[in-house]
Amino acid sequence: MAAKPSIPKGTRDFSPIEMAKRNYIFNTIRDVYHLYGFQQIETPSMEMLSTLMGKYGDEGDKLLFKIQNSGDYFSGITDEELLSRNAAKLASKFCEKGLRYDLTVPFARYVVMHRDEITFPFKRYQIQPVWRADRPQKGRYREFYQCDADVVGSDSLLNEVELMQIVDTVFSRFNIRVCIKINNRKILSGIAEIIGESDKIVDITVAIDKLDKIGLDNVNAELKDKGISDEAIAKLQPIILLSGTNAEKLATLKNVLSASEVGLKGVEESEFILNTLEAMELKNEIELDLTLARGLNYYTGAIFEVKALDVQIGSITGGGRYDNLTGVFGMAGVSGVGISFGADRIFDVLNQLDLYPKEAVNGTELLFINFGEKEAAFSMGILAKMRAAGIRAEIFPDAAKMKKQMSYANAKNIPFVAIVGENEMNEGKVMLKNMETGEQNLVSAEELIAAVKK
């Protein structure tokens, strides 16, 4: 007996209905990106490991899926190295390529490789899958889609403002209530500076980014484990727990960070973004959140994260400014800022809240019943007119029993059925049945189009 097939943990199959829902998500995001002048690119699923390694911090490097070299990958490896059983060292010899971890680093590589073809500022978007060797859990998958938009070649904070407008527009179209959280890595650097731990900025940001997940006590314990002094941790408490309106938080930070040039620069940038957005009258709340750190090392300025208000789930969108990313590929001085929508988490939120529009998930609108060769030939002519009018229509391919064909229509939630028998053909019409009400009417092709479209 053949073994039952399975798929890797953290991956999923998607049914036709699920794909209709996913395409609704992708198309909504794509339409909004186009409104703001972004153009689409694609990059390969695999990249050279030299492109990926060292860009996401130590934790990110561990989550890279590495691809084993083809051919004799043992050549050049000594018996001593094999017997050492050092997985990381052996992987570096066995593997030259890896599956992409996100879309931002491949994009930076793309910009460097195609710099002579690109008009700057370059506004690109990408909707493709990424892979992470993470432990699968609710809302966290090993294979998932990201929907990124980035602007490179411009230092203007108007880019940050427009990206937040895009976030607001997308979630307004989805009817998902969200809180857009904003912070700035310069503010975090300033905080590290004034508590006397500038060299521990990465450890501090990685720890406080987990505040929502593990709580304040565990964050403080992690900070202590990283060698940050009790005095510095004590100074950090009122800062990361700062409350009040955005304006009140900014006013407090101006005082707290008065001795830090970089910290004040972060406050200034945040103030510009928030004040400009206030004039735009966003539909969703935007909040300055000092606990937001974003775990990736390449962010250098504004950072963003989006939380759904009506569903318990992690961040559903994130991003930020990364001034130095292309520099690691030999192209210094190119500033970038971007966002990434987590399509799989948005899919889960829309499912939980039942927010998909009916028209987004409906497939076929009209099914022609097949009674035989003559009836099918007559139906095919009208079917062509339906499709020309933009109606999603099909004919049952076999002259099966009526019950089987109607069951097919019910199973696929097809709202209308066209019945063509000898009487209908004689009149040059069809019998239209509304599957929801059961009502039947004899109609012409033109009336059929009007009825289905209505």
Domain boundaries, the chain: 16-353, 362-453
Is 72 known to sit in a ligand binding site? no
Distance CA 325, CA 323 (A): 6
In 3-state terms the chain splits into helix, strand, coil percentages (rounded to 5) of 45, 20, 35
16-353 CATH choice from 3.40.50.300, 3.40.720.10, 3.30.930.10, 3.30.70.20: 3.30.930.10
Is 298 annotated to bind a ligand? Reply is yes
Please state, in angstroms and rounded to a whole number, the distance separating the CA atoms of residues 385 and 393: 10
Reference 319, options 81, 136, 118, 102; nearest CA is 102
- The packing angle between helices 246-256 and 185-194, to 10°, is 40
- The alpha carbon of residue 344 and the mean position of all alpha carbons in its chain are separated, in whole angstroms, by 7
344 is in an annotated binding site: no
Same fold, 16-353 and 362-453: no
How many whole angstroms separate alpha carbon 244 and alpha carbon 126? 37
Q: Residues 445, 432: contact at Cβ < 8 Å?
A: no
Q: Is the dihedral of CA 437, 438, 443, 445 positive or negative?
A: positive
Spatial distance between the Cα atoms of 418 and 180, rounded to a whole number of angstroms: 48
Output DSSP code: residue 136: P
- What is the DSSP pairing of strand 416-419 with strand 302-308? unpaired
φ, ψ for residue 380, nearest 5 deg:
-60, -35
**Count of residues making up the chain:** 454
Are the beta carbons of 104 and 318 closer than 8 angstroms?
A: no
Q: Is 123 exposed, middle or buried (0-12, 13-18, 19+ CB in 10 A)?
A: buried
Q: Token pair of 50, please?
A: 């030299």
Under CATH, which number does the domain 362-453 receive? 3.40.50.800
Question: pTM value?
Answer: 0.86
Question: Can you give the pLDDT of all 454 residues of the chain as single tens digits?
Answer: 678 999 999 999 999 999 999 999 999 999 999 999 999 999 999 999 999 988 887 888 889 999 887 766 666 676 666 666 666 666 666 788 999 999 989 999 999 999 999 999 999 999 999 999 988 887 678 999 999 999 999 999 999 999 999 999 999 999 999 999 999 999 988 988 988 777 777 777 778 778 777 888 888 888 888 888 888 888 778 777 788 999 999 998 998 899 999 999 999 999 999 999 999 999 999 999 988 887 656 789 999 999 999 999 889 999 999 887 788 888 988 889 999 999 988 998 999 999 999 878 878 999 999 999 999 999 999 999 999 999 999 999 999 999 999 999 999 999 999 999 999 999 999 999 999 999 999 999 999 999 999 8
Is 104 annotated to bind a ligand? Reply is: yes
Given strand 178-184, what is the order of strands in its sheet?
39-40, 122-131, 143-152, 336-342, 317-321, 302-308, 178-184, 285-288
387 known member of a binding site: no
Tokens 């990110």 correspond to 60
Residue 199: how many other CB atoms lie within 10 Å: 9
The rounded distance, in Å, linking the Cα atoms of 371 and 364 is 20
Residue 102 in marked binding region: yes
Separation between Cα atoms, residue 202 and residue 242, nearest integer Å: 21
264 annotated as ligand-binding? no
Q: Are strands 393-395 and 366-368 parallel, antiparallel or unpaired?
A: parallel
